[in-house]
Amino acid sequence: MPFRIALSGLNAASSELRVIGNNVANASTTGFKKARAEFADIFASSNLGSSSNAIGSGVKLSSVTQQFSQGNIGFTDNNLDLAVSGQGMFVLNDNGVSVYTRAGAFGVDRNGFIANSQGQVLQGDIADSNGNLTNTTGDLQLNFDNIEPQATSTAEISLNLNSSLPVPGATPSSSLTVPATTILDEDAPIAPAAGSTIVGAPFNMRDNYGVERSVQIEYTHTAANTWTATLRDNVSGNTFPGSSPIDTSGASPSPSSVDFGWVPQTGSGAQDPIIVATNISAITLVAAAADGDTSVGTVSTVNNGTAQVPFNANDATTYSHSTSMTIFDSQGTPHLLTQYYRKSTQANQWEVFTFREGNRVDAPVGSNGQTVVFDTSGQLQSPTPTLPAISFNPGGGAAQITMSVDISGVTQFGSSFSISSLTQDGFSTGQLSGIDISDTGIVLSRFTNGQTQILGQVRLANFTNPQGLRQLGDTTWAESFESGQAIVSQPGSSGLGLVQSGALEGSNVDLTEQLVGMITAQRNFQANTQVISTADTITQAIINIR
């Protein structure tokens, strides 16, 4: 009997050494799960029970169980290498049969499917052509076709307009002085007839926007030694009568200065009065021949001017801020869309002018901009959330572009102009440049035009009893009665772990632990051989009894 018991011990120790040896051999195998030998004693019994003095009959190998503890995760340069951090296994299609693994060394086969070196295809939720997940599990496949261009239909703008800025053209200008020219002598024998007009030589004045204007002063003889001065704008032909007649009978003209008020024309832009003060104290009248021409040169000082000049996209002084973004037509051709923001003379109001590559597209040229109104707290009041739709023909055979501009993110606060975001939904054509996989298993394709598209989502499977899975080799397992049915879901849900892209899970074998177990199994084996040796000695002693 001791021989049989010791023999069972030798078999058990040998089995344990085999399990340990297999663990050590696969210490570097990706996704390998170590095994553990479990033993049970052998005890003889009968239907009538067993005696309290009964002795066991040895040991037997009860089972070899897989230990699905987490292995170390190492990072790689391949985005298709996947590791599960937590519970769960990848689902693979092996010629129509579902198998499961923790080894996530994947690549792309000749048909674009994500597969391992055995040709088993990774399973997941398939996305449609628009990148929407369909909740249908199937083979995950990469699409290497170019992405088609998309015309811009919506743009979104988030920025702050500086409420403390002055209205363009409302700042008083500096003064301008023009030297006088004397062409008439008051002592000359020829006196101008009443009602006659003397036209001064033209001179230039510069407004507060730096724009030069050519003006002339006309003097009309109304009485002896009395003239009325009129300022003429040579560009528009407008006249601006002086505030009072000029009496030149004394040593100096009276009054010594005349204020001219400018009545603005009716036009497309808002205009404020320009006040021009002209110093006439240096005007001298001289006589000429009766049939000669007469003219007057003046010295004019222009100050305290105010005006809101018409908007001009080429003149930065006629608007307050501007933004630019690239939009696309139906053929993927880019176009530059620029918006100019001009503070209005009305409180909390701005005008917006929209141009496409120098051509206005939101309204006819010369018309007012689109009005944007804010409340007293600087929040957008109207229009909200979008400006009126913009529509234009981009040319080149592309379709008409009709787009809206969402300005719900525009504010008017007393801080500097700042842009938070400028976005639009159009893009040009693009080629596949890479694949990314998120921690929730979303498979995302990246294109050269900066666009992305969802191709699918990796699914993970879990089991009520993972130790009950049937080993198939190649670090894969199959469902069995003992394991229960697979519970398939998205990573990060239903107790499943997350997916790490560009990483692989190594073996969970601890070599130190295995070496200690190896020594223990060796000692057990040696001890059982000693039992056999001792039993043999006893048996030999019995045989030698005479």
Inter-residue contact 208 to 229 (CB < 8 Å) = no
Please report the pLDDT score of residue 172 as a whole number: 46
Q: What is the 3-state secondary structure (H, E, C) of 81-127?
A: EEEEECCCEEEEEECCEEEEECCCECEECCCCEEECCCCCEEEEEEE
Percentage of the chain lying above the pLDDT 90 cut: 58
Smallest Cα–Cα separation from 408: which of 381, 384, 378?
A: 384
AA letter at 256: S
Residue 132 makes CB contacts below 8 A (sequence gap 6+) with: 454
Which 3 state secondary structure label does DSSP give 451? coil
Measured torsion, CA atoms of residues 121, 122, 128, 132, in degrees rounded to the nearest 10 = 180
Average pLDDT over every residue of 125-139: 92
Which 3 state secondary structure label does DSSP give 523? helix
Report whether CATH 1.10.150.120 matches the domain 154-168+311-424: no
Please report the pLDDT score of residue 214 as a whole number: 73
Quick check: bond before 253 cis, omega within 30?
no
Which pLDDT band holds residue 189 (cuts at 50, 70, 90)?
very low
Which pLDDT band holds residue 471 (cuts at 50, 70, 90)?
very high
**pLDDT tens figures, 319-361:** 999 999 999 999 999 999 999 999 998 999 999 999 999 999 9
Average pLDDT over every residue of 506-514: 95
Inter-residue contact 306 to 275 (CB < 8 Å) = yes
Which 3 state secondary structure label does DSSP give 540? helix
AA letter at 248: T
Please report the pLDDT score of residue 247 as a whole number: 53
pLDDT at 255 over 70: no
Compute the distance between CA of residue 123 and CA of residue 454 in angstroms, rounded to an integer. Answer: 15
Q: What is the largest CA-CA distance in the chain?
A: 182
Smallest Cα–Cα separation from 106: which of 71, 79, 88?
A: 79
Compute the distance between CA of residue 358 and CA of residue 356 in angstroms, rounded to an integer. Answer: 6
Compute the distance between CA of residue 498 and CA of residue 490 in angstroms, rounded to an integer. Answer: 9
Q: Which sequence spans correspond to the domains of the chain?
A: 2-69+508-543, 92-145+439-505, 154-168+311-424
Compute the distance between CA of residue 462 and CA of residue 494 in angstroms, rounded to an integer. Answer: 9
pLDDT at 210 over 80: no
Task: List the structure tokens of 332.
Answer: 């993927």
AA letter at 74: G
Please report the pLDDT score of residue 443 as a whole number: 97
Average pLDDT over every residue of 180-200: 53
Inter-residue contact 134 to 128 (CB < 8 Å) = yes
Distances (CA, A) of 481 to 36, 61, 468: 21, 21, 8
Please report the pLDDT score of residue 238 as a whole number: 55
Which 3 state secondary structure label does DSSP give 392? strand
What pairing do the DSSP bridges indicate for beta strands 154-162 and 401-413?
A: parallel
